Amino acid sequence: MTFYDEYEKYIGLNLEEFFKEVRDEDVLRVLSKENLTRTDYLTLLSEKAEKYLEIMAQKSRDITTRHFGRVIFLYTPLYLSNYCENQCAYCSFSTINRMPRKKLALEEVEAEAEMISQTGLKHILILTGESRYHTSIEYIKKCVGVLKKYFTSISIEIYALDENEYLELINAGVDGLTIYQEVYNKQIYDEVHITGPKKDYKYRLEASERACRMGIRSLGIGSLLGLDDWRSEGFALGLHADYLQNTYPEVELSVSLPRIRPHVGSYSPKYDISDKNLVQMMLAIRLFLPRVGITISTRESSSFRDNLIGLGVTKMSGGSTTEVGGHSSSEHGEGQFDISDKRSVSEMAEMIYKKGYQPVFKDWWLD
Amino acid sequence: MSDEFKIGGKVLQSRLFVGSGKYSNNRLIPEIIKSSKSEVITVALRRVDFMDEKENMLNFIPKECVLMPNTSGARNAEEAVRIARLARETGCGNWVKIEVISDNKYLMPDNMETIKATEILAKEGFFVFPYMNPDLMDAKRLRDAGACAVMPLGAPIGTNKGLKTKELVKILIDEISLPIIVDAGIGKPSEAAEAMELGAAAVLVNTAIASAENPILMAEAFGLAVKAGRKAFLAGTGAIKEFAEASSPLTGFLN
């Protein structure tokens, strides 16, 4: 059994009907509890709960401070390649978009690593488009070999792999995996993933579990907000996180709440998710899953990100670029999506200190 | 009267150990040490950045303070052992707090893996301080494995819930000849005092200080509470009586 089977049980559930029935006293009852059930979590995603955002925020801050302390973990993405075999409606790297394609040579990976390590960061997230041909496991392993000299924690955000491939990368020095389902709604998933290997919903959904079984240390999951109604996606994401936490308690889990950003191509989000909605979702997740990390990326504006500190967020990226070679090259091409918060790592650190929090550059080291 | 705490080759005046990981700024560390009068600080090796001249946590720890690196992040004995060795290689001394957690939901320590790591590291000459779930049999195993103290949790880490494991900790105090150091869960100075009154050798506090509105003042409060609790223990608290004893109406005729 995997989360795929678990999630099937919820597919027929009429969320709108449930939300309609939620009364004020239901929200208040949930807010007075310490351990929330899945139904309690759903209650906090209701329209009714929006009224209680301030109480939720205060609870969330309290829980986050106790479990994580007054700290924010920092990391930055490093794009190795933008070759892709998929056609995904929401992404610049899609095969139908005519954009220059590039893959970093190992010397270029080293140049990027040197640039990034000057910021003091010890955690790196490496990304590729989805191309086994251009960015094979062998290639990624070689890149990890280079990066190990500069960073104490290496996470990957690449195409979904088989178990033995995850094991190969873990043995090569990878300790974290980020893999978003993008959208849990199966029908929408099929619509936006037009062609390519990513079209296989189940293989994608079960990827995180394959990595967990092979001993990955940390795992980040997420739903790309705007592809479907945020309440149902938020519920699915919470269920997924809850399932993973219960099934693989040894894994450090975090969830990400990316909202769709402008990109090359013509797709515009079908569903709106306001700042208020995003905050409600984040707070509901914190109250439901007190020890799960929450990541807010540079897709969000700097002022919005600043305001989220203290509400429940635990991880942020800084000095981000979604371009291949974007850290060390002065030539600028097309990225995967537009970045809203363009601040450097040191500017991020300064802001975090100003907010009364400590930026953490290093949080894992084994060898 | 003199009440020194001799442990791990050191002689301590204070029985409060503090943490280092949850503060808003590393510059708070020396202030916390000063106001609490603590002489032992635990540091997660995973967080120490030896390359960072400005923010290397170790640079903020006063020289006279005893460093107790911990193996936070270890999921099994093997990882704990590797982290402990790394700590020693990087000059963090030969004290180590073993923290093995394979459950990120409640962050409960894994006693079995902790015992394994303790055995290996004690043989390698470390002073091993294992963080554990207060189970008597496991505490005995830790003692036999060569631990120099046992550190049972008062409540799940980061909860500030207080000495919820009181009855179990009491048994460890009575039955284990090693110092019992209550670690994790202590939320208020009164709870630290309570642990000390029971006969705990020391208390380790991190979250309760770091999450206070004024961590420096809270650190001082904990320092005083631990001292008060210790003195109360040494003084021998009087027996608690259910009834007032004005006379003996039932047995008076026997006198």
pLDDT tens for B86-130 read: 999 988 899 999 999 989 888 899 999 999 999 999 999 999 999
Helix (H), strand (E) at residue B84: helix B77-89
How big is the A-B interface in CB pairs under 8 Å?
79
Give a yes or no: residue B246 inside a domain: no
Q: Do B24 and A252 touch (CB under 8 A)?
A: no
| pLDDT given at position B74 | 95
Q: Do A69 and B82 touch (CB under 8 A)?
A: no
List the CATH number of the domain containing B202: 3.20.20.70
Q: Which of A70, A253, A360 sits opposite B210 (nearest CB)?
A: A70
Measured CA to CA, the distance from residue B152 to residue B138 in angstroms comes to 11
Residues in chain B with pLDDT < 50?
A: none
Give a yes or no: residue B249 inside a domain: no
Measured CA to CA, the distance from residue B39 to residue B59 in angstroms comes to 16
| pLDDT given at position A262 | 65
| pLDDT given at position A263 | 65
Residue with tokens 């709440």: A257
β-sheet bridge partners, residue A154 = A124
| Catalytic option among B10, B97, B123, B164 | B97
Which residue out of B22, B79, B205 would a mutagenesis test of the A interface target, given it has the greatest number of A Cβ atoms within 10 Å?
B22
For residue B49, which residues of chain A lie inside 8 Å, CB to CB? 120, 122, 361-362
For residue B43, which residues of chain A lie inside 8 Å, CB to CB? none
Number of domains in chain B: 1
The domain in which residue B92 lies consists of: 5-235
> If DSSP states are collapsed to H, E and C, what string results for chain A?
CCHHHHHHCCCCCCHHHHHHHCCHHHHHHHHCCCCCCHHHHHHHCCCHHHHHHHHHHHHHHHHHHHHHCCEEEEEEEEECECCCCCEECCCCCCCCCCCCCCECCHHHHHHHHHHHHCCCCCEEEEECCCCCCCCCHHHHHHHHHHHCCCCCEEEEECCCCCHHHHHHHHHHCCCEEECCCECCCHHHHHHHEEECHHHCHHHHHCHHHHHHHCCCCEEEEEECECCCCHHHHHHHHHHHHHHHHHHCCCCEEEEECCECCCCCCCCCCCCCCCHHHHHHHHHHHHHHCCCCEEEECCCCCHHHHHHHCCCCCCEEECCCCCCECCCCCCCCCCCCCCCCCCCCHHHHHHHHHHCCCEEECCCCCCC
Give a yes or no: residue B31 inside a domain: yes
| pLDDT given at position B251 | 76
User: Is this model's pTM higher than 0.95 or not?
Assistant: no
Q: Which amino acid is at A44?
A: L
pLDDT digits (tens, 9 = 90+) for B183-201: 988 999 999 999 999 999 9
| pLDDT given at position B204 | 96
How is residue B11 written in tokens?
């002689």
Give a yes or no: residue B241 inside a domain: no
Which residue out of A350, A357, A363 would a mutagenesis test of the B interface target, given it has the greatest number of B Cβ atoms within 10 Å?
A363
Tell me which residue of A125, A119, A83, A171 sits closest to A295, measured CA to CA.
Answer: A125
What number of residues does chain B have?
Answer: 255
Give a yes or no: residue B254 inside a domain: no
Asked if A367 has any chain B CB less than 8 Å from its own CB, the reply is yes
Q: Do B86 and A363 touch (CB under 8 A)?
A: no
Measured CA to CA, the distance from residue B251 to residue B255 in angstroms comes to 8
Give a yes or no: residue B88 inside a domain: yes
| pLDDT given at position B242 | 67
| pLDDT given at position A264 | 63
Q: Do B86 and A366 touch (CB under 8 A)?
A: yes
The answer to whether B231 is a known catalytic residue is no
Q: Do B23 and A67 touch (CB under 8 A)?
A: no
Measured CA to CA, the distance from residue A237 to residue B135 in angstroms comes to 37
pLDDT block averages, 10 residues each, chain A of length 367: 94 93 96 96 97 96 92 94 86 80 93 93 93 94 96 96 97 97 95 92 97 97 94 97 96 94 71 93 97 91 92 92 82 74 90 94 86
Give a yes or no: residue B200 inside a domain: yes
Give a yes or no: residue B253 inside a domain: no
Chain B residue whose CA is closest to A68? B22
Q: β-pairing, B10-12 with B5-7?
A: antiparallel
β-sheet bridge partners, residue B153 = B183
